């Protein structure tokens, strides 16, 4: 199978499965539903690997339209497909993680209502994500962009009876819409100045715009375009200050936290900027903006991970921080490295979420780490895979995260040396965050898998509440079923080796085969020396990051071993702790300031504008006339519809007579 | 074939009269009206299909002298702008009649008759190429709507009906005066297309603009003459709201394309700043007002005003002398899309109202547990109302915003706020009514959609999706019509 039919298969297989299961799922039952959707995603996955093979080894790329979406004048928007190295890598990442999550879901959601609906949604998500990465134009990118947002909305609110879940999904949708407004305006500007929305045409045109300013301002048009587009990325990829929805999205079932809110959807913004690298390269101002947003995410939001007690929220803040790393890489002009980290992160973060889900299953949907501990011996597979994932996340050589993170640090240093504004901030945050990352990752490992088995105390407390056997302290936690542990194992493998294998593709000579264009200084630096995995590992011991990571692990260990130390420490830094506990008051800003402000204006406009001024003053005058009129009118009406109608027809006739007389005059 | 258009216009009117003879035999009345509406819809679909998208100007033209002494003709014909609305109109009425099959039990024959008559009149208004014929249909369609609200409406129906009637009548009187003036200056003709080439000085152009503006702006409705709509909708029965939102408002938008832009282009250019301001106020101000509504129908009514703001915005995107094609085409697309989406939203509210008899958001919650199929449809329409790509709601707004960016980034930004506001009020309502725990025992007794409701929702869902995924289907038919209007709006008559 070659060419478009292969590509169409990748797109349509999950869609068809999703639609069938969405409509007939309940009638089909659980097993056929998950078989069908898994089959759909499996077909996509296999085809994606074929595409990767073709692109990498046979150098078959493709860029062409599928059908005309709309034509206005001489301009046409088409739905199309772009296949190059970047697309093929994204396809493999998306479909592989999706396949793992599909399998995992069989075990995780086994007891839940809406089992079929869940499978339909995650297949639909896979379809939308494939559309997003395969797109060859902005319009379709936006379609996929909003499509994944929709499914994210549906899945965060999967437990639609739970108030916190439906609050979180509305919040996620609206915050994303703020970003989308920027994105849409960016697309509009691109179209206005480049006359097309196809990537190829835009890239060809955009370099001629370097001296063009936005009318009535002295803002460079490319800078404005790039910043607006990046605002879109800030929403989807949860960059400060539009990050507030991501921690709340943990209200959704854990498989989707892994698939949507860690591995794929939230990296769409990163993908978008990398895809548009020829544009962003033309605006250093835009790159600096990205560095600042990313740096804040990377360090300041990463810190919040340290004080979380909910196992999923630790991983969620970790995601914010890692997205920050990717953004910093983008801001340094090192797009290929951002995609490298995107790929390694997809596997190890997906793994961490799935493992966290496995723990949550064993704990009977308890997510508070203070009520866990000592689980390592009960759940060896979950423990080992999660440990591998954490090592990868912390950037310990030779695990996957080490390579991508080390390249980001190198990129930041290069950008700083080059004098890019924000370069110093980038260097500080990427270094400091290495420590923070290791600290919260291993705090999670220690609190969950080591030490005292605190879940027993909790269960004893609860024992007098009822006779539920499952919740009694008598049974030991069990390792999750095979459908859950298999994906963990399969995700742990790339978490260990993918960095080693992938390195050459992202920093080697032909970086991503020309689908992504690193900025000149980065390209220069990468060309200066041969970067091999072995070199990197050896060199790493001469540099601070590895020691920062180890320090993080040691600090986590000390706090774990010494009872009450963390409490004492919290007391010392009370004001700082409060600030962190309130998440820098960013939630309050939206919920207590912006939202009531909007509602307040709405209420004011409605009551004063509509009711008092328009209806009260203007219409009321006429209404008084109407009242007088209706008194006459009432005499004419006899209560029968016929006479109303007669009256109306009469009125029209009178009007016509009136007009006739006017004409003759 | 020659009389196809007249057949489309008069079939529902004749059916509407015939239904009245069914009297108290409700099932016969339903059957006759269903057949009538079905035939009309099929006829309009045939018009849609055989309409030749490659020729500009009118097609299916008929011209029969009517009142010869005044040069009034029975003249009909459709171009790329009016033709899709004839189909939309008949389609929505068919759905309304299906939707009313089980729900309407009071004066069934009269109810169906009113809808059929109204469809015929509205089609007539879209097809008329003679100004007086247009005016007669334009006025005549008020009568059935007035009665629909007045007879089958809720508690405050009489007030709402009179407000609706007077508001719209006021505007149309001014239009009549303008038409008579045009008759006199254009060499005694009521042919609308003759006015397109009538030379007019600036002052009369402005006056004619104002006269037309009042009659059409009230219909759209534009801010600040919009306050009748949020009063009319809650009082109207479901079918009335569907037709009102889906079709009646479109006559207002259509007026801008058929009358204002081509007949008084210089005045349109001069006043475009004002029109853009009013449209942007409609989008932002009304969007904010919609957020605080507690009555579902009022909320969707305000949402309609906000969405129609895109139509008027798209009409007046002048850059110097030229009119932006994207915005203009987007405005027409927005009208068609809004026809599907608003009808669907009111249908959904109607389905809930029929079960719980409340329009209050606060009386619901947890409907998804009881009506999963309905909740799925409603989700799709809510997303379309929020302008999600892949649904029709996105296409028009996207095109208008693309056009607006080319004119002024600030216009695009303000219009784009609908992305946030639209999602805000629609999904807030959805969350409060459909999601959550069941708090109301009436909600606990709700049953999922019946077969009639399913058919209506399904057909609307298909329309919303087809237009979102393949808008070219509609746009190809409308392109030349829009192009003609743009060419006319860019000429100078001074």
The model's pLDDT over A198-224, given as tens digits with 9 standing for 90+, comes to 999 999 998 898 888 888 888 899 999
Question: A639: nearest CA in chain B?
Answer: B151
Do the Cβ atoms of A174 and B470 come within 8 Å? no
- Chain A residues with CB under 8 Å of B397 CB are none
CB A430, CB A412: distance < 8 Å = yes
User: Percent of chain B beyond pLDDT 90?
Assistant: 49
Give the Cβ contact number of residue B210 at 10 Å. 15
**B148, HSE (Cβ side, Cα atoms, 13 Å):** 30
Residue A125 has pLDDT above 90, yes or no: yes
Give the rounded distance of the alpha carbon of A606 from its chain centre.
36
- Interface with A, mutate which of B56, B137, B435 (most A CBs under 10 A): B435
Tell me the C-alpha distance between B440 and B357, whole Å: 12
Tell me the C-alpha distance between A67 and A84, whole Å: 20
Do the Cβ atoms of A146 and B166 come within 8 Å? no
Measured in residues, chain A has a length of 665
CB A184, CB B419: distance < 8 Å = yes
The model's pLDDT over A421-446, given as tens digits with 9 standing for 90+, comes to 888 999 999 999 999 999 999 999 99
Do the Cβ atoms of B368 and A160 come within 8 Å? yes
Interface confidence (ipTM) of the complex: 0.91
Q: Bridge-partner residues for A64, per DSSP?
A: A81
Tell me the C-alpha distance between A21 and A117, whole Å: 7
Residues contacting residue B385 through CB under 8 Å, at least 6 positions apart: B300, B303, B307, B341, B342, B345, B393, B422, B426
pLDDT of residue A463: 45
Do the Cβ atoms of B325 and A157 come within 8 Å? no
Chain A contacts in chain B segment 83-112 (CB below 8 A): 107, 110
Q: Bridge-partner residues for A76, per DSSP?
A: A71
Taking the Cβ of residue B292 and every Cβ of chain A, the question of whether any pair is shorter than 8 Å is answered with yes
The model's pLDDT over A450-508, given as tens digits with 9 standing for 90+, comes to 888 888 775 555 444 444 444 444 578 888 888 999 999 999 999 999 888 888 888 86
- Chain B residues with CB under 8 Å of A615 CB are 227
Distance from CA of B291 to the nearest CA of A (A): 7
Q: Bridge-partner residues for A79, per DSSP?
A: A67
pLDDT of residue B234: 85
Nearest to B292 among A173, A187, A602 (CB): A602
- Chain B residues with CB under 8 Å of A173 CB are 423, 427
Give the Cβ contact number of residue A227 at 10 Å. 19
Q: Which residues of B132-167 are buried (b: 16+ CB within 10 A; e: fewer)?
A: bbbbbbbbbbbbbbbbbbbbbbeeebebbbbbbbbb
Tell me the C-alpha distance between B210 and B175, whole Å: 9
> What 3-state class would DSSP assign to B372?
helix
* Average pLDDT for B41-66: 90
Question: A613: nearest CA in chain B?
Answer: B224
pLDDT band for B151, please (50, 70, 90 cuts): confident
CB B368, CB B435: distance < 8 Å = yes
CB A196, CB A202: distance < 8 Å = yes
Nearest to A146 among B139, B388, B479 (CB): B388
> pTM to 2 decimals?
0.90
- Chain B residues with CB under 8 Å of A121 CB are none
Do the Cβ atoms of A185 and B224 come within 8 Å? no
Q: Bridge-partner residues for A65, per DSSP?
A: A80
pLDDT band for A648, please (50, 70, 90 cuts): low
The model's pLDDT over B162-208, given as tens digits with 9 standing for 90+, comes to 777 777 777 778 888 889 889 888 888 888 998 998 888 888 889 89
User: Percent of chain A beyond pLDDT 90?
Assistant: 45
* Average pLDDT for B143-168: 78
Residue A129 has pLDDT above 50, yes or no: yes
Distance from CA of B246 to the nearest CA of A (A): 23
Residue A635 has pLDDT above 80, yes or no: no
Classify burial at B483, counting beta carbons within 10 Å of its beta carbon; exposed 0-12, middle 13-18, buried 19 or more. middle
Taking the Cβ of residue B319 and every Cβ of chain A, the question of whether any pair is shorter than 8 Å is answered with no
* Average pLDDT for B239-260: 91
Taking the Cβ of residue B143 and every Cβ of chain A, the question of whether any pair is shorter than 8 Å is answered with yes
The model's pLDDT over A568-577, given as tens digits with 9 standing for 90+, comes to 888 888 888 8
- Chain A residues with CB under 8 Å of B479 CB are 71-72
Distance from CA of B468 to the nearest CA of A (A): 9
Do the Cβ atoms of B289 and A143 come within 8 Å? no
Structural element, H or E, at residue A75: strand A75-83
* Average pLDDT for A69-77: 87
Residue A559 has pLDDT above 80, yes or no: yes
The model's pLDDT over B88-99, given as tens digits with 9 standing for 90+, comes to 999 999 999 998
Question: A23: nearest CA in chain B?
Answer: B373
- Interface with A, mutate which of B291, B330, B421 (most A CBs under 10 A): B291
pLDDT of residue A665: 47
Nearest to B150 among A68, A69, A644 (CB): A644
* Average pLDDT for B328-340: 94
Tell me the average pLDDT of chain A.
86
Do the Cβ atoms of B383 and A150 come within 8 Å? yes
pLDDT of residue B188: 84
Do the Cβ atoms of A72 and B398 come within 8 Å? no
Tell me the C-alpha distance between A14 and A8, whole Å: 11
DSSP H helices in A531-640: 533-540, 544-561, 565-572, 574-581, 586-588, 595-604, 620-636
* Average pLDDT for B237-261: 91
Q: What is the DSSP string of A577-589?
A: HHHHHTGGGHHHI
The model's pLDDT over A231-289, given as tens digits with 9 standing for 90+, comes to 999 999 999 889 889 988 898 899 999 998 888 999 999 999 999 999 999 999 999 99
The model's pLDDT over A90-103, given as tens digits with 9 standing for 90+, comes to 999 999 999 999 99
Do the Cβ atoms of B470 and A601 come within 8 Å? no
Lowest average pLDDT, out of A135-139, A351-355, A592-596, goes to A592-596
């Amino acid at each position: 199978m070659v060419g478009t039919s292969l590509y169409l298969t990748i797109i349509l297989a999950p869609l068809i499965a999703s639609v069938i299961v969405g409509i007939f799922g309940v009638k089909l039952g659980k097993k056929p539903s998950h078989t069908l959707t898994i089959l759909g995603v499996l077909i996509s996955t296999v085809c994606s690997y074929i595409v990767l093979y073709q692109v990498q080894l046979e150098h078959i790329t493709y860029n062409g339209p599928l059908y005309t979406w709309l034509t206005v004048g001489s301009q046409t928007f088409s739905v199309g497909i772009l296949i190059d190295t970047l697309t093929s890598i994204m396809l493999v990442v998306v479909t592989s993680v999706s396949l793992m999550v599909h399998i995992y879901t069989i075990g995780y959601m086994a007891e839940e209502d809406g089992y079929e609906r869940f499978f339909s949604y995650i297949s639909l998500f896979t379809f939308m994500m494939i559309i997003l990465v395969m797109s060859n134009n902005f319009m379709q990118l936006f379609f996929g962009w909003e499509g994944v947002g929709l499914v994210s909305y549906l899945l965060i609110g999967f437990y639609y009876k739970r108030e916190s879940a439906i609050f979180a999904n509305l919040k996620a949708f609206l915050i994303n819409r703020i970003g989308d407004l920027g994105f849409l305006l960016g697309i509009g500007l691109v179209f206005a100045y480049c006359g097309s929305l196809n990537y190829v045409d835009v890239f060809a045109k955009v370099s001629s715009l370097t001296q063009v300013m936005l009318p009535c301002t002295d803002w460079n048009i490319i800078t404005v375009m790039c910043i607006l587009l990046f605002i879109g990325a800030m929403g989807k990829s949860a960059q400060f200050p539009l990050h507030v929805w991501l921690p709340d999205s943990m209200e959704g079932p854990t498989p989707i936290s892994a698939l949507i809110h860690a591995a794929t959807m939230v990296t769409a913004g990163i993908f978008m900027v990398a895809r548009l690298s020829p544009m962003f390269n033309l605006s250093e101002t835009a790159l600096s903006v990205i560095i600042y947003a990313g740096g804040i995410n990377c360090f300041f939001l990463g810190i919040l991970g340290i004080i979380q007690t909910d196992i999923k929220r630790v991983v969620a803040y970790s995601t914010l921080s890692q997205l920050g790393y990717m953004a910093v890489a983008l801001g340094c002009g090192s797009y290929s490295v951002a995609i490298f980290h995107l790929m390694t992160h997809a596997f190890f973060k997906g793994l961490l979420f799935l493992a966290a889900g496995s723990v949550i299953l064993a704990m009977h949907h308890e997510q508070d780490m203070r009520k866990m501990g000592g689980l390592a011996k009960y759940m060896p597979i979950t423990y080992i895979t999660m440990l591998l994932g954490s090592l990868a996340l912390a950037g310990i050589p030779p695990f996957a995260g080490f390579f991508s993170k080390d390249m980001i640090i190198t990129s930041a240093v290069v950008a700083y040396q080059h004098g890019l504004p924000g370069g110093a901030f980038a260097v500080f945050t990427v270094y400091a965050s290495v420590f923070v990352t290791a600290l919260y990752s291993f705090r999670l490992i220690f609190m969950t898998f080591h030490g005292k088995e605190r879940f027993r105390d909790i269960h004893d407390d609860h024992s007098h509440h009822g006779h539920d056997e499952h919740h009694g302290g008598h049974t030991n936690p069990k390792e999750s079923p095979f459908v859950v542990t298999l994906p963990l194992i399969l995700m742990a493998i790339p978490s260990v080796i993918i960095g080693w294998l992938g390195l050459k593709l992202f920093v080697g000579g032909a970086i991503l085969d020309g689908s992504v264009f690193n900025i000149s200084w980065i390209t220069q630096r990468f060309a200066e020396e041969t970067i091999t995995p072995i070199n990197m590992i050896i060199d790493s011991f001469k540099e601070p990051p590895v020691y920062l990571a180890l320090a993080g692990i040691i600090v986590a260990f000390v706090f774990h071993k010494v009872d009450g130390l963390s409490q004492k420490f919290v007391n010392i830094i009370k004001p700082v702790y409060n600030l962190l506990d309130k998440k820098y008051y960013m939630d309050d800003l939206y919920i207590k300031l912006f939202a009531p402000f909007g509602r307040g204006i709405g209420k004011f406009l409605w009551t004063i504008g509509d009711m008092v001024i328009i209806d009260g003053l203007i219409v009321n005058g006429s209404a008084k006339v109407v009242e007088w009129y209706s008194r006459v009118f009432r005499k004419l009406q006899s209560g029968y519809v016929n006479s109303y109608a007669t009256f109306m027809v009469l009125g029209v006739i009178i009007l016509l007579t009136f007009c006739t007389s006017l004409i003759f005059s | 074939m020659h009389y196809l258009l007249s057949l489309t216009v008069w079939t529902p009117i004749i059916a509407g009269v015939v239904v009245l003879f069914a009297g108290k035999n409700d099932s016969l009345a339903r059957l006759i009206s269903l057949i009538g509406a079905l035939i009309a819809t099929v006829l309009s679909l045939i018009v849609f299909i055989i309409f030749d998208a490659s020729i500009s100007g009118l097609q299916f033209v008929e011209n029969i002298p009517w009142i010869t002494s005044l040069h009034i003709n029975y003249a009909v014909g459709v171009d790329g702008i009016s033709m899709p609305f004839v189909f939309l109109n008949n389609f929505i009425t068919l759905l309304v009649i299906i939707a009313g099959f089980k729900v309407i039990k009071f004066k069934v024959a009269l109810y169906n008759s009113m809808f059929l008559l109204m469809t015929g009149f509205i089609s007539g208004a879209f097809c008329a190429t003679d100004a007086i014929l247009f005016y007669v249909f334009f006025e005549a369609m008020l009568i059935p709507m007035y009665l629909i609200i007045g007879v089958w409406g809720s508690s405050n129906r009489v007030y709402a009906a009179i407000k609706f009637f007077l508001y719209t009548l006021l505007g149309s009187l001014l239009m009549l005066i303008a038409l008579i003036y045009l008759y006199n200056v254009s060499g005694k003709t009521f042919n609308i297309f003759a006015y397109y080439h009538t030379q007019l000085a600036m002052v009369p152009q402005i006056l004619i603009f104002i006269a037309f503006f009042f009659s059409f702006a009230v219909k759209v409705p534009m801010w600040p003459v919009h306050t009748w709509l949020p009063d009319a909708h809650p009082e109207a029965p479901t079918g009335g709201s569907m037709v009102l939102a889906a079709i009646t408002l479109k006559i207002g938008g259509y007026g801008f394309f058929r009358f204002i832009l081509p007949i008084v282009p210089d005045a349109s250019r001069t006043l475009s700043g004002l029109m853009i301001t009013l449209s942007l106020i409609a989008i932002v101000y009304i969007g904010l007002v919609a957020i605080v509504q507690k009555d579902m129908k009022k909320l969707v009514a305000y949402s309609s005003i906000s969405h129609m703001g895109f139509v008027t915005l798209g009409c007046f995107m002048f850059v110097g002398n030229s009119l932006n094609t994207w915005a203009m085409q987007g405005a027409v697309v927005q009208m068609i899309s809004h026809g599907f989406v608003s009808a669907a939203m009111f249908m959904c509210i109607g389905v809930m109202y029929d079960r719980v008899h409340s329009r209050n958001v606060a009386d619901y919650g947890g409907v998804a547990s009881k009506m999963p199929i309905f909740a799925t449809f409603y989700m799709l329409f809510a997303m379309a109302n929020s302008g999600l790509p892949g649904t029709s709601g996105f296409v028009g707004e996207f095109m208008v915003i693309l056009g607006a960016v080319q004119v002024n980034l600030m216009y695009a930004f303000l219009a784009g706020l609908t992305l946030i506001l639209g999602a805000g009020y629609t999904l807030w309502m959805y969350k409060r009514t459909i999601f959550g725990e069941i708090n109301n025992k009436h909600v606990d007794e709700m049953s999922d959609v019946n077969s009639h409701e399913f058919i209506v929702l399904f057909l609307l869902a298909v329309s919303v999706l087809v237009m979102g995924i393949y808008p070219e289907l509609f746009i190809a038919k409308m392109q030349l019509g829009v192009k003609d209007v743009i060419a006319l709006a860019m000429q100078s008559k001074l």
